[in-house]
Amino acid sequence: MKVFAACANFLPCQGAVAQVSKPAVAADFPIGRVRESAQLAGLETRDTADLEVCATLAAASSLPVRSWLKIAALILGFCVTSCATISRHEFNELATGWQTKTGQLMYRSPKRTLIGDAIVRFSKTGNFELTVSKGPGITLLFLRQDAAFAEVKGAFARQGWSGPVAKAPQQLRGWLGLRDQFIRAPNQKVVRYAAGNETFLFRF
C-alpha cells in the first residue's frame, strides 16, 4: 500500500515535471503582423527605390537627347543657310565672247609644288574659270569666279569652298587673285603672279 501511495504521489510530480520540461513560450509581439509589416516595408522601400532610379535614369537620358537635338538643329540651320547662299548665286555660263587659253601651270608654295595642264577661260564682263588637271580625267582644281563670288573644288582644294570673295580663307587668296591678272592682260603668253609666299607661272 505504501508503494502504491508513493507511486500515486509520484505521478502528479512526473506530470508536473513534464509540464515544466516543456514550457510554453509566449511571443511578446504578433508574428503575423510583423511579417506583414516587413513585407509592406519592403514593398515601400522597393517602390521608392525604383522611382528614384527611374527618375535618375530619365534625367540622365534626357540631357544627352537635348544636347543632340541642339547640335542637330545647329547643323541643319548651317546646311540650310549654306545651301541657300550657294543656290542664290548663279555664275554666267560659257558663251560667245569668252576667251580660252590652254597651257601649263607651275605652282609653288613652301609646302607644295604643282605642275599641271591649265585651261583658263574669262569674259570681258569679269567672269573667270580655271581648270588644272594632271592627265586626262584627273581634275586637281576647278575655280570659277566673278567680281564678288567664287567657288573652288577638286582634289587640290581638299573639301572645297564657295562664298563671297571678301570672306575667302587665307589659303585661297592667291588663287582668287588670278582673275584680275588675266582680265588685266588677256593676251600675254606668259603670266607670272606672286601672292605672299605663293608663286604662279602660266605658259600658253
pLDDT at position 64: 67
- Bigger pLDDT: 10 vs 28: 28
Confidence of residue 56 (pLDDT cuts 50, 70, 90): very low
Give the CA angle between residues 188, 165, 136 to the nearest 5°: 55
> pLDDT tens digit string along 95-137?
788 999 999 999 999 999 999 999 999 999 999 999 999 988 8
User: Which of 161, 188, 193, 166 has the alpha carbon at shortest distance from 178?
Assistant: 193
* Inter-residue contact 198 to 107 (CB < 8 Å): yes
The answer to whether residue 28 scores a pLDDT higher than 70 is no
177-183 contacts, C-beta under 8 A, 24 or more apart: 178/128, 178/130, 178/143, 179/122, 179/126, 179/128, 179/145, 182/101, 182/120, 182/122, 182/128, 183/122, 183/126, 183/128
pLDDT at 69: 67
- The Cα–Cα gap between 189 and 186 comes to 9
* Residue whose C-alpha cell is 542637330: 72
* Residue-level pLDDT at 85: 40
Per the document, the length of the chain is 204
Average pLDDT over residues 44-50: 47
Confidence of residue 73 (pLDDT cuts 50, 70, 90): low
Please compute the mean of the pLDDT values over residues 15-21 and round it to a whole number: 40
